Every structure is written in structure tokens, then in C-alpha cells.
Structure 1
Amino acid sequence: MTTYTPPQRTATLADAPAIAALMRASVLELFPRFYDERQTASAAKHIAAIDLLLIEDGTYFVHEADGEIVACGGWSKRNKTHAGDGDAADDDRPLDPATEPARVRAMFVRGDWTRRGLGRAILESCRLAAKAAGFTSLTLTATMPGVPLYRSFGFTEVERVMMTTPDGVDIPGAIMVKDIDRPDSIGP
């Protein structure tokens, strides 16, 4: 049986409202399997916050099916490490591809579209684009629902972290890394 994979494209600013809605819906549906009610509510507000700079930089991708965005995610050549609101002073600082890893950021899939290869397709687009920009490795700060996907794509967990949202809620996550020259080699 063949599975339909909706086409992927680079996001545009016109997609922002649909991306924001997808992010929130994805968190509300998928996070309760890993986090409690308070953590999920905080993540829906603070982690599912769109970063327009990713779209403006042309490094953010979407999959669209029947006119609706069902998956999104991208990579960044800037210092900000993960999705969500709350800014650090050097978040917008350009990364040095020779010495710093590109950041995979803001990966979300609609609940009824999970486990169909959309996240993997976005990760591969990120890997190839970051490699073309001169980066040699990727890093990300994963929420727990994403860890299995990233692990299956060849990312290695290097550290468990606690992300504290602006409302003071602690959300466990993991910092993960991947050599950019190693394509997804573990399989679906």
C-alpha cells in the first residue's frame, strides 16, 4: 500500500496564520501523551509560537493537503535554539557554519498526519539546505513528543534539559545533534 505524501514547499508570510493554528493544534493533541495538563497548556501558548524570521529567511517548510497545512518545520542559520516565545539577546545572531551547527526548529505535524513521513521529509529538506549553506552539523532542542522522530532520523541525544516557559512552567526536553553528512540511515 502506498501512502499519499502531500507536497512540500517553502512557507510564505501568508501561511503564518495557518502555521500558528497548526502548531497550537499539534501541541494540544500530541503533548498530553508526554506532559501533564499544565505543561501542555503552557506549551500551546509559549512553545507553539511562530517565529516569522524562519519564514523570512526562507528556511521554513510546510506540507499542504487539500488546501490545509498539515506539517511544518525548518532550520535556522541564527542562534535561537528552539521554538517559542521568550527572547535572548543574541537569538538573531548569524551562526558561523564552519564552527556552529544549524538549528532545526519549530517542527509540528497535525495529529491525523503523524507517522506518514512528513516530519522526516522536512528534516531531510533542512539537512540538505543547511549543508548547501556550509553547515556541517545540526542541533535541536526537542520536546518529548519529537524525540522518537529525531532519533529515527539519526539524531543523538546529548543532554536532557528543562525548558521554562515565560509563565514559569518547566517542560522537559532533550538537546540532540546530527552530523549533516550522514543522511537518515536508520529507516522509517
Structure 2
Amino acid sequence: MAETTTIRIATLSDLAAVDALLARAYPRLLAKHYPPSLRVMAVPHLARAQPALLASGRYYLAVNGTGQVLGAGGWSPSRRKEHADIRHFVTDDRHVRRGIGREIMERIFADVKAAGIARLDCLATRMAVPFYGAMGFAELGPVRINLGPGIDFPAVRMQRTL
């Protein structure tokens, strides 16, 4: 990476910074893979920080030396025993391909393993499939996520065994 980043656990006090990151990055990152009409409807649902996730102790931020949030992502235990779900993963669109997402994911892998969980599941946006593939996730197939009335968002179900 060009600049030093630190991975830390998010707190509720990070809500505004994560909201700003999601609102800025998602529209730009999704632009090449989803039509404008879908983005206009979907981004307001996708680009909101989730307070319960930020307070869970399982959501991480990559921050630079000035405290700017360059990436975020976390995990939650699944309803299925020994499974966990990747949650709300994003890298600042101005800082992609610099190892930030990898650093966050490696922290998730370590913490999930320590929790005794053997498998990670995720619903990846089309643009994120190559990243998850590089992190050892296998594609299980396309899915549609219902974000609200008339908003079915295409994604790809992926999974990794730890």
C-alpha cells in the first residue's frame, strides 16, 4: 500500500464516517456493473451504515494516519452452525487495489477462525466477485436480493472454507 493503514474495530461513533464512505464509494464502484436505473433505487438501501453491526465488535475499519476511513467490512454469525456471513464490505473507490480490502479480510479470517467458525458466506456485488475469488471464495451462483418493493438487486453467492 502507498500509505500506512491500521485495522481497528468500529464503534457507533464511526457511524457518520462509514455512512460517508458507503455513500461515496458504492455509486462509483457499482457503476460499471449495474444500470443507472437500478443504482438509483438500490444505492440508498445499500449505502447506509448498520448501527448494530458497528456495535457488534465484528466490524472493522481501515484508517490512514489522519484517521480517514479507507475501507470497512465485517462478519456476523450465521443461523447455520459453524458458518458466518461477510457483511457490508467496501473500499474507498479512490484507494482500491492497494491491499486495504485484503487487510480487512485477513482480520476477519483470523477472528472467524478464533470463534470456531469453519465457513464464510457472502453475497457479492458483481464488481466484488474477482476480489472475493482472490481471497479464496468460490462462486455458488447468482442470487437476487430484495431491497424493497420492486428492487431486486443481482448478486453472487460465494463461500469459503477456512
TM-score tier after normalising by the smaller chain length: over 0.9
Amino acid at match of 1:143: T
Greater share of strand residues, 1 or 2?
2
> Unaligned regions of 5+ residues in structure 2, if any?
none
Per the TM alignment, residue 167 of structure 1 is displaced from its structure 2 partner at its CA by 4.1
Match of 2:145 in 1: 163
Match of 1:20 in 2: 19
Query: Could you tell me which residue of structure 1 aligns to residue 101 of structure 2?
Result: 119
Give structure 1 stretches of 5+ with no counterpart. Answer: 80-94, 181-188
Matches within 5 A, 1:1-188: 3-65=2-64, 66-77=66-77, 79=78, 95=79, 99-180=81-162
| Percentage of matched positions with identical amino acids | 31
Number of aligned residue pairs: give it. 161
Alignment TM-score, normalising by the size of structure 2: 0.93
Residues 36-76 of structure 1, C-alpha deviation per residue, up to 9 Å, x if partnerless? 11222223201122222222210000011222111100111
- TM-score, normalized by length of structure 1? 0.80
Looking at structure 1, the residues matched to 57 and 140 of structure 2 have their Cα atoms a distance apart, in angstroms, of: 28
Q: Distance in 2 between matches of 1:18 and 1:53?
A: 15
- CA–CA separation in structure 2 for the residues paired with 1:37 and 1:167: 18
- Quick one: distance in 2 between partners of 1:129 and 1:38? 38
2-11 vs 56-65, which deviates more?
2-11
Contact 1:154 1:178 in 2 (8 A): yes
- Give the Cα separation in 2 of the matches to 1:122 and 1:26: 17
Q: Secondary structure at the match of 2:53?
A: helix
Structure 1 segments of 4+ aligned residues over 6 angstroms from their partners? none
